[in-house]
A = this chain, B = another copy of it.
Amino acid sequence: MTRGACVAAVGCLCVATLLSVATGCAAARDVRAAAPSVDSALPSWRDGAARAAIVDFAARTTDPASVDFVPEPERIAVFDNDGTLWAEQPMYVQLAFIVDRVKALRAAHSEWETTEPFASLLKGDAKAVAAQGEHALGALVAATHGGMTDDEFRAAVRGWLATARHPTTGLRYDAMVYQPMLEVLAYLRANGYRTFIVSGGGVDFVRAFATEAYGIPSDQVIGSTAKYRHETRDGVPTVAKTGEIDFVDDGKGKPVGIASRIGMRPRIAFGNSDGDFEMLAWTTAGQGARLGVLIHHTDAEREWAYDRASPIGKLVRGLDEAPARGWTVVDMARDWSVIYPETK
């Protein structure tokens, strides 16, 4: 995802995209390739340069006889979430959660009917919300994310994911993870890599589903964070989220978040937008074997096709500089035989 044009807010979600409707068509058809891969690894990846780059890198860095061998403690792979591990169109999933949450809390907040930005949001007037800028988004995040403990917030997200459906595919949002990327995560872990999410989205939002959806434990999720507050409620110590922004994990924030939380430069970075540019650039500037991969959304039929002109997931600099930087660009339409997992 890119949130470069966005404001410093928890989850850093573009107000401009609020309530926007997808113009591209998105279908969840499972079009498994007829021809099986020559290798059992990464079965949803068609043979080609992208798949070869991943498999070759894993082989070289785990072979003690190779000059590119990487000791296991240094096998760190980082992944953007929105647009890299799951779909981000027509709006970031967290934004859909915020919208629904405001609606769900409406009855208990009659003042919202006449208070901005809630009034405009409840009327479905995205432009009016957007016109109110950063402050409005901060108010929405604080109202929908603040004051809860981790357990309470996680339960709210999980309850929402269980019932919400994507506006065009009709799928659960967490069914719109990318099957080829689930295979990459499992494949790298089988090769001794530890996999981390580095998301511009709110860390607690992503943590609510990361373990179930991706097999990634909550401490291996890095994201934008609100400040926490230690407080005693009825004599019981708790840690509660505030609505106050602590850290925005996007653009230059991604290398900073990784340095702070992981304490090591990764060997592998996957992203899909210019919000991931600095993460890939920092990762691949390290000494020794490094792998940078961009997921290019080229599949208007099975997913969405977007890059340079998209308000969400804008990808310009990455495309321009990938060849010179040696980054692998995945052509989703060509390289992936399947987009989403088979629906259970």
Contacts and interface: CB of A to CB of B under 8 A. Distances in A.
A218 interface: yes
Interface in A144-168: 150-151
Contacts of A64: none
A201 to B, nearest CB: 13
Interface of A: 73, 76, 150-151, 194, 196, 203-204, 207, 211, 217-221, 225, 228-230, 236-239, 246, 252-253, 255-256, 258-265, 278, 281-282, 285
A73 B217 contact: yes
Nearest to A231: B252
A278 B239 CA distance: 11
Nearest to A218: B263
26 contacts: A73-B211, A150-B259, A194-B219, A204-B263, A207-B263, A218-B262, A218-B264, A219-B261, A219-B262, A219-B263, A221-B263, A225-B260, A228-B256, A228-B259, A228-B260, A229-B256, A230-B252, A230-B282, A237-B255, A237-B278, A238-B282, A238-B285, A239-B256, A239-B258, A239-B259, A261-B261
Contacts of A238: 282, 285
Contacts of A217: 73, 194
A71 to B, nearest CB: 10
